[in-house]
Structure 1
């Protein structure tokens, strides 16, 4: 197996010059750098990446925290993040919290123990004061979460405005009694969306219904269960804002099975513009986020902070959202998909 000395002899250069090229250090002209690269290629020499990482005190690995990868929104985001990280020469570790605040803290220990260089959090389940303690160990970037007291870079859409737009659309379609669904009111996303929902119902003086079950909506099955709950508790609800296309799909599926017409009897809005929103019949009106662009920006910002090795002030990157109007809220027409 060729050694660094073999590369140096083959290139006709010193071992120090070869080492500088391998470790991507300055003070090596392009001509010598090309000679080293050519020698490495000729000899089939592969640098010891573990040793390089130890010398640079970098793992070239980032962690991505998410609640559950089975949610298509997060799986789509993870795919875009992994591709962008690979372009920068970084690997990713995917950490599912399953909405557990303790698991979130356990994964944050990866920063403190230097097993990763930085972290992207796509959901937050602890107070920011608990998370902030880990910032001296490495940069943390928030994606999809807007925490007011956070002192780090944040990439997100205006969740309040998105919910307001979606709720206003339901009201404009003639809905008179609304329901707001979320996966739990312990996240900044759910709280922001509820503020947008409440802004619309108060502005237009429309009634709404609240129930404990409405804050446990996370997937198709819970959407089906909530529809049954609505039928038993208050069947006069005629408009539902959900925080997920999966939940919206579950509601629509169960409604159709029970002879409830969508959107004549019940209009439903989802969130995230997942593939299921276009495949359902009726198709689901939904809020679209620019997932790929947000994911790529997160990785770009995080790796820049890793490379700069310094504390960074808060920077907000707000992306636009789009309300995709489909037949779960409107009569069948030439509606763009």
Structure 2
């Protein structure tokens, strides 16, 4: 196996000069640099990246905190983030918090102990004042998740407006008794969505229904349970904004098994435009987020913060979304019925 001494000998340079080229340091002429690079290629010499990282006090690693990788939205986001980070020479580690506050703080310790250079938070459950001190140890960028502060950079859509638009769409389809589901742990996003939902109902003088069974829906099985609960306890509900394509798919599937017609008896809206939403029968109306664009911007902002030696101002990037209207809410060609 070739060594740095072998490279120096073949290139006719000193070991120190070879080291400077490997670590991209100044004071090496272009001619010498080319000879050293050519010698490295001839010998098949590969620099020790671990040692190089130690000398630069950088890990070239980014941590991404998210609730659960099994959610297709976060799987899509991670794939896009990893692809973009690799362009800058960074590796990505995935940290599943399962919406546990202590687990979230434990992962943030990776930044404090210099095991990662930066952190992307795709969700968070702790109060901001618990997270803020970690900024002293390295940069954090919020992607998908956001809050009302100028103390951290954020990349997201307007979840409040998205929920408002989805609810207005249900109302325009004739729904008068509309339910809202969220994914258990209350986050800033869930509060924003609920606020948009409430605004739409208020503007049309429609009632708001509350049930703890609707606040614990995360996946397809939970969606099935939601429909069973609606049938037995709230049979008058004729529209539902789920905030998740998985939950929406569970509702659609359970409805087909239980002789509930969608959208005639119950109009359903999901969120995230997962492939599942298009494959279900009927196809599910949903909100689409520009995941790749958000991932690119997130890594661009984070890398700039990690590589700059100057204090960086915090920025907020709000991306557009799209309400994709499909068969799970289209009552224009069906005969409506009353429960």
TM (norm. structure 1) is 0.96
Q: Deviations over 1:98-144 (max 9, x none)?
A: 11111001101111111111100000110111111111111011011
Task: Name 1:218's counterpart in structure 2.
Answer: 218
Offset of 1:212 from its aligned partner?
0.7
SS of structure 2 residue aligned to 1:83: helix
Task: Name 1:172's counterpart in structure 2.
Answer: 172
Aligned residues of 1:128 and 1:150 also touching (Cα < 8 A): no
Q: CA RMSD in A?
A: 1.4
**Partner Cα distance (2:177, 2:48) in 1:** 64
Task: Name 1:73's counterpart in structure 2.
Answer: 73
**Partner Cα distance (1:62, 1:241) in 2:** 34
**Partner Cα distance (2:185, 2:205) in 1:** 23
Offset of 1:85 from its aligned partner?
1.1
Q: Deviations over 1:247-268 (max 9, x none)?
A: 0000111112111110011000
SS of structure 2 residue aligned to 1:134: helix
Offset of 1:7 from its aligned partner?
1.2
Where do 5+ consecutive residues of structure 2 fail to align? Answer: 334-339
**Partner Cα distance (2:308, 2:182) in 1:** 38
Aligned residues of 2:99 and 2:185 also touching (Cα < 8 A): no
**Partner Cα distance (2:308, 2:288) in 1:** 33
**Partner Cα distance (1:240, 1:210) in 2:** 12
Task: Name 1:244's counterpart in structure 2.
Answer: 244
Offset of 1:232 from its aligned partner?
1.5
Aligned residues of 1:180 and 1:240 also touching (Cα < 8 A): yes
SS of structure 1 residue aligned to 2:39: helix
Task: Name 2:253's counterpart in structure 1.
Answer: 253
Offset of 1:13 from its aligned partner?
2.7
Task: Name 1:319's counterpart in structure 2.
Answer: 319
Aligned residues of 1:139 and 1:311 also touching (Cα < 8 A): no
Q: Which has the higher mean CA deviation after the structures are superposed, 266-275 or 175-184?
A: 175-184
Task: Name 1:203's counterpart in structure 2.
Answer: 203
**Partner Cα distance (1:282, 1:68) in 2:** 27
Aligned residues of 1:101 and 1:125 also touching (Cα < 8 A): yes
Offset of 1:29 from its aligned partner?
4.1
Aligned residues of 1:62 and 1:91 also touching (Cα < 8 A): yes
Task: Name 2:191's counterpart in structure 1.
Answer: 191
Question: Is 1:64 matched with 2:64?
Answer: yes
**Partner Cα distance (1:221, 1:239) in 2:** 19
Q: Which has the higher mean CA deviation after the structures are superposed, 249-258 or 324-333?
A: 324-333
Q: Deviations over 1:187-206 (max 9, x none)?
A: 00100101111111111122
Offset of 1:279 from its aligned partner?
0.2
Offset of 1:12 from its aligned partner?
2.4
Task: Name 2:295's counterpart in structure 1.
Answer: 295
**Partner Cα distance (2:166, 2:17) in 1:** 61
Task: Name 1:304's counterpart in structure 2.
Answer: 304
**Partner Cα distance (1:310, 1:184) in 2:** 40
Offset of 1:11 from its aligned partner?
1.7
Task: Name 2:235's counterpart in structure 1.
Answer: 235
Q: Which has the higher mean CA deviation after the structures are superposed, 22-31 or 130-139?
A: 22-31
Q: Which has the higher mean CA deviation after the structures are superposed, 115-124 or 142-151?
A: 142-151
Where do 5+ consecutive residues of structure 1 fail to align? Answer: none
**Partner Cα distance (1:225, 1:30) in 2:** 68
**Partner Cα distance (1:150, 1:242) in 2:** 30
SS of structure 1 residue aligned to 2:13: coil
Aligned residues of 2:125 and 2:185 also touching (Cα < 8 A): no
Change over 3 Å in CA distance of 1:60–1:274 after alignment to 2:
same
Task: Name 1:25's counterpart in structure 2.
Answer: 25
Q: How does 1:91-170 map to 2 (within 5 A)?
A: 91-149=91-149, 151-170=151-170
SS of structure 2 residue aligned to 1:271: coil
Q: Which has the higher mean CA deviation after the structures are superposed, 149-158 or 137-146?
A: 149-158
